[in-house]
């Protein structure tokens, strides 16, 4: 029972990335993680962003669904 509860807590912590009860990790590590995410985002966007966003949006225009 204790092992299962511990595993559940660890799994939940991994899911939310928070090691404690809403503690959210220390500020420094959060900022560093945030900076990594933004750098990766810049790179991902740079690779795909078109030269003409308006043209892209028009070309991928969708009809309404349900």
Partner 1 sequence: MSFPLMGVETEYAISGFDAAGNAVGSGALAEAMLRTAFRRLRGIPAHHGRGLFLENGGMFYIDSGAHPEFCTPECDDPLDVVRYIRAGERIVRGLAQELRGEGTSARRVFLTKGNVDYSGSKNTWGCHESYGYRCRPVLMAEQIAPHLVSRIVFTGAGGFDPHSPGIVFSLSPRVYFLERGSSESGRSRAIVHRKNEPLSAGFNRLHLVCGESLSSDLAAWLKVGTTALVVAMIDRGLAPAAGAAPNSPYRAMKAFAKDPTCRVSVPTSSGRETAISIQRRYLETAEAHLGDGILPPWAGDLCVAWRRVLNDLEADPARLSASLDWTIKRSLYEHRAREAGIDLQSTSVWNAVLPRLMDTVRRSPFGGRRVLVEEVLAPNAPEPVQDFVKRTTPLLRRNGTSWEELRPLVDLRKQLFEIETRFPELSDEGIFAALDRAGVLRHRVPDLGDVDRAVHEPPERGRARVRGREVRRLAGEPRNGYLCDWDRIADIRGKRMLDLSDPYAERAEWKPVGDRPPLRERLFPF
Enumerate binding residues for partner 1 (CB under 8 A).
8-9, 11-18, 21-22, 24-25, 30, 33-34, 36-38, 40-45, 47-50, 53-54, 56-66
- Tell me the C-alpha distance between 24 and 38, whole Å: 19
Nearest CB to partner 1, comparing residues 22 and 28: 22
- Tell me the C-alpha distance between 28 and 34, whole Å: 10
CA-CA-CA-CA dihedral for 56, 59, 61, 63, to nearest 10: -170
From the CB of 28, what's the least distance to partner 1, in Å? 13
From the CB of 7, what's the least distance to partner 1, in Å? 10
């Amino acid at each position: 029972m204790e092992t299962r509860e511990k595993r559940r807590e660890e799994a939940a912590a991994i899911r939310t990335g928070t090691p404690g009860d809403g503690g959210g990790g220390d500020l420094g590590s959060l900022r560093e993680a945030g900076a990594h995410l933004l750098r990766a985002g810049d790179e991902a966007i740079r690779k795909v962003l078109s030269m003409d966003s308006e043209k892209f949006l028009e070309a991928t225009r969708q009809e309404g669904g349900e």
